[in-house]
Structure 1
Amino acid sequence: MLLLVRMRYLSRNFKTRLSLNTQKYMLPGLLPLIPKQIGRNILLLSLIAVCGCTATEAQSNKQQGKNQQRAVPVVVATVTRKTIPVELRQTGTVVAYSTVGVKSQVAGPLTGVYFQEGQNVKKGQLLFKIDSRPQEAALMQAQANKEKAIAQVKQAQANLSKAVAQVNQAKANLLKDQTQAKNAQVQAQRYSTLLGQGAISKEQADQFRTASDAQKATVIADNEGISNAVAAVEAAKADLNNAKATVTAADAAIDSAKITLSYSSIYSPITGRTGSLKVNQGNLVKDNDTNPLVTISQISPIYVTTSLPQRLLPELNKYRAQGKIQVDAYIPKDEQRPEHGELSFIDSGVDPTTGTIQLKSSFTNSDGRLSPGQFVNVVVRLTQEPNAIVVPTTAIQTGQKGQFVYVLNPADQTVDMRPVVVGNAVSNESVIQEGLKEGEQVVTDGQFNLRPKAKVQIKQAVGTGQRTGNVNQGNQSP
């Protein structure tokens, strides 16, 4: 139409110019004829142009209709039924199973360091040596004190034996004096009788009576001597016990000196990995200093802590009561090899500031891939959902009315938009609770170019050597 308007404009313009420029050179009879002929020619050209435009427009509409019927390339996958684990996913932090700050219990110059920073050490491995000469001298002094105490014990035993002998001697003297006293008393009584009969003089009777009284005094003195000898025995026994106690104290002092001497060699209390060295060889070390010489972290086994919302606590306790709960830790950028462990601790209370509860899982970490302070993705596997309808997660789309998938119609190679109810998602698969059946095929790639009843062409998935889905490929156009 634009061309037709243009030709009419040229016709009028040409006629005007012809009448102005050629009238004076042409014969009067020919002047009316020229514009008419030119007008006819212009009209003919206009008709040809209109026909050309109409043909072009028709061809364009035909091509557009052909393009609208062209199949959309898509990738499809088959809906399957399998057992899917029910799990919780959170971010966790790796913490050491135990951490020990190694300190010195004796003061002195640090004479040796027998490990490298960041080295894995075993329990009982030598780490440090401190100058032990003062401790060795103290041990020798304690041993000398023990020898002295042993000598005192022997002296006390000798004194006790002497005191016992004195008791025995006193008892023997008592028996002898008692016999003599009895004999003297008999003699005194006999001479007293003879004095009454006038057979002897009074002087003789008094002599025997005095001898009897003296013998009785000797018996009394012997009894006192026995008492003194017995007391000496008890004193000797006490001295012996004191000497033995001194030996025991000397033994304790020796043990204490040995323990103090052992502190001059510092061994690793656990198996783990050493941190940075705080004191170098040659420095003076204080006993029980505030800063440890080195910190050792036990990393095998190792803990991973994470937090879960408190609303999940009843479900977590339910599955924990049924048995051990498996926990997987995925290391970022190395998620193909997760570390496997189990849930070992649930905190007794909920954090009121965050509304979460802390969990702690233990891992053997035999390869040392987990390090304290590292962030990992934690998957708590509660149970398994058998015979679940599963599709690739990429097949699920979200629209104004909720989630949906495009389902393939194998008969005519078109797709339908079907709403679905999505359940748990595991890895790159999702559980469909409602909306799909096993064996159906859904579109996993190319959904943005689709509409209901759109024609599709099944293409090969990227990174595979075959087309996805169980579609009859013989009926597809190349």
Structure 2
Amino acid sequence: IGTTAALEIVEVKAQVTGQIISREFKDGADVKKGDPLFRIDPRPYQAALDQAQGQLAQAKAQLALNELNLKRQLDLRTKNVTAPQELDTARASFAGDEARVKAAEAAVAAAQVNLDYCEIRSPIDGRAGLRNVDVGNLVGPGGASLLTIQGLDPIYTDFTVSEPDLPLVRRYLDNPNLKVMTDAEDDSVGARQGDLYFIDNAVQPSAGTVKLRAITPNPDRALWPSQFVRVRLVLDVLKDATLVPGSAVQIGQNGPYVFVVKPDSTLDLRQVKPGQVHGDLTVISEGVRGGETVVVSGQLQLSPGAKVLPKDAGSGGEAGMQRAKAID
């Protein structure tokens, strides 16, 4: 069991102070990055921009005048007609005007930024939550958030594995078949395949588990943040694997074994090497071949070489039988 979490969560706040004059979205709507959300009254900031542009024009005009004066003083100085002090004054005036032009340009840029901030736009693709302010409210940088937007496609799947299983997971981290399957309860959509994204750097002391996170595609937005989901971590894909019911595998003095029914209906005790568990089935890497019949119940009453009457599992009788399956 795991939970989902939004890929991105953004608290939208005002970056300039002013009155909200319009709202451009519906609560709960999907929004794209750059979509308008709110508009703040731009008139004070437009006026500040106009003023800054006027001051820039004045600074440029003064710079042009002092540039002409500097050229005139340089020409007179080459003819030894003017005093060195007048040339130095012209140079200082020109340098001061250059600095004032740069300051005026910076003021224009700052005023333009503030004006642009009057148009509050979505910083991410996602789904809008319930708005916290309405048209007419006064907002500002120090106020509460106007809206929360959460990115839902893709979405995070958070789950845990027990501490003893962690070395096995780490062994398969570079395996291209490693994947995370996420399935929601009462969902008409099948399990979604995602990629393992994160393994926590510490074991949770109280639970003895390690937190993992996967990135799961969610194009239909069927998965919601904080939703409980069923998670299956697939470490590898075994081709031509032989599967037997888990109840067929017994533990004896020499290790795991199964009873195999031979063609003459006698029993053969086989030492086996079990592998991964797949639901109610267990992978057998050695000891049983696909198509052979194994005993799945009543093993305590049986012995090697005994003759049995094979019956399908669940049909009654002393020993239930089922064929081993070979899957791709």
In 1, the alpha carbon distance for the partners of 2:131 and 2:39 equals 14
Structure 1 contact 164–230 (Cα < 8 Å) conserved: no
* Structure 2 unaligned residues grouped into runs of 5+: 316-321
Pairing 1:429–2:281 present? yes
Pairing 1:349–2:259 present? no
Structure 2 contact 177–236 (Cα < 8 Å) conserved: no
State the TM-score, normalizing by the size of structure 1.
0.56
Q: Partner residue of 1:273?
A: 127
In 1, the alpha carbon distance for the partners of 2:177 and 2:125 equals 27
- The range that moved more, 278-287 or 330-339, is 330-339
- Return closer, same or farther for 1:164/1:314 CA change in 2, 3 Å cut-off: same
Pairing 1:157–2:67 present? yes
Pairing 1:114–2:18 present? no
Deviation at 1:391, TM superposition (A): 2.9
* Structure 1 unaligned residues grouped into runs of 5+: 1-90, 173-225, 462-467, 471-478
Deviation at 1:106, TM superposition (A): 0.9
Higher relative contact order (CA 8 A, sep 6+): 1
In 1, the alpha carbon distance for the partners of 2:72 and 2:5 equals 72
In 1, the alpha carbon distance for the partners of 2:281 and 2:294 equals 13
Q: Partner residue of 1:136?
A: 46
The amino acid across from 1:368 in the alignment is R
Q: Partner residue of 2:6?
A: 96
Q: Partner residue of 2:158?
A: 305
Q: How does 1:325-336 map to 2 (within 5 A)?
A: 325-334=178-187
Q: Partner residue of 2:99?
A: 245
The amino acid across from 2:51 in the alignment is Q
In 2, the alpha carbon distance for the partners of 1:441 and 1:292 equals 66
Q: Partner residue of 1:20?
A: none
Deviation at 1:110, TM superposition (A): 0.9
Deviation at 1:387, TM superposition (A): 4.4
Larger radius of gyration, structure 1 or 2?
Answer: 1
In 2, the alpha carbon distance for the partners of 1:437 and 1:295 equals 57
SS of 1:371's equivalent?
A: coil
Structure 2 contact 248–294 (Cα < 8 Å) conserved: no
More strand by share: 2
Deviation at 1:167, TM superposition (A): 3.0
**Count of equivalent residues:** 310
CA RMSD of superposed structures (Å): 3.7
In 2, the alpha carbon distance for the partners of 1:157 and 1:342 equals 64
In 2, the alpha carbon distance for the partners of 1:334 and 1:127 equals 32
String of CA shifts for 1:435-457, please: whole Å, max 9, x gaps.
8654344588xx79xx8789787
Structure 2 contact 291–323 (Cα < 8 Å) conserved: no
State the TM-score, normalizing by the size of structure 2.
0.79
Aligned sequence identity (%): 34
- Return closer, same or farther for 1:282/1:324 CA change in 2, 3 Å cut-off: farther
The amino acid across from 1:130 in the alignment is I
- Return closer, same or farther for 1:110/1:253 CA change in 2, 3 Å cut-off: same
More helix by share: 1
